Amino acid sequence: MKVAIIDYGMGNLRSVEKAFHKVGMGGAFITDDPAAVASADKAVLPGDGAFDSTMLSLRRSGVDDIVLEFIASGRPFLGICVGMQVLLTSSEEGDPDARGLDVVPGRVHRFPHQPGLKIPQIGWNTLNFVPDSPLGVDLPGQNSAEGGPMAYFLHSYYCAPDNPADIAATTEYGVPFCSALHRDNVWATQFHPEKSGPVGLAILRNFARL
């Protein structure tokens, strides 16, 4: 099975590739070749940085069309961090005219200022998956008395899908927010599964099984 990790000049590509290999997905590979993405069974869009600069890079490289075409094919697609945020319609971050891919209707918001709350959120936090979510199956710590499985976050903005049915998991950081989403064949995580130890590897394994 081939998993295309889409290279558009940004994102934590090698760590994502290594994490897929670690869960037995030796067919995961990094590529900026549209033909290679088109021939893959699954695709992943990692991301680091700001929403507007990411969208600019996607459009300059033509990767925005590659992503939309892959999603339209119905094959499983995974966005990670900013790769999740650009799936939404728009964002409060950066250029106010910057538009996302609009795969999932909604907007990306900045965390509100609250005393004692550091922005960006950097570190580990709890995931609360909706019942029967395929990504949330059999995660380490799921039945823990400490509150559940934890993942690694690094972000100042969070996704707010228009339709609550698109929310696959929530997390609390001053406010409850969408930490994973799911719409049809599209999945995405605000956290970094490739940096989240056994929990993150289990999530990537669950995605590989979709």
Strand (E) or helix (H) holding 79 = strand 77-80
- The amino acid occupying position 26 is G
Judge whether 159 counts as a catalytic residue.
no
81, 93, 155, 178: the catalytic one is: 81
- What is the largest distance, in Å, between two alpha-carbon atoms of the chain? 49
Could you give the CA distance from residue 61 to residue 50 in angstroms, rounded to a whole number?
17
Catalytic residue (one of 17, 93, 178, 192): 192
Determine which one of 17, 159, 178, 194 is catalytic.
194
Look up 81 and say whether it is catalytic: yes
Phi and psi, residue 57, nearest 5°: -65, -40
Q: Is 178 a catalytic residue?
A: no
Query: 109-138: buried (b, 16+ CB within 10 Å) or exposed (e) per residue?
Result: eebeeeeeeeeebeeebbbbbeeebebbee
Active-site residue numbers?
81, 192, 194
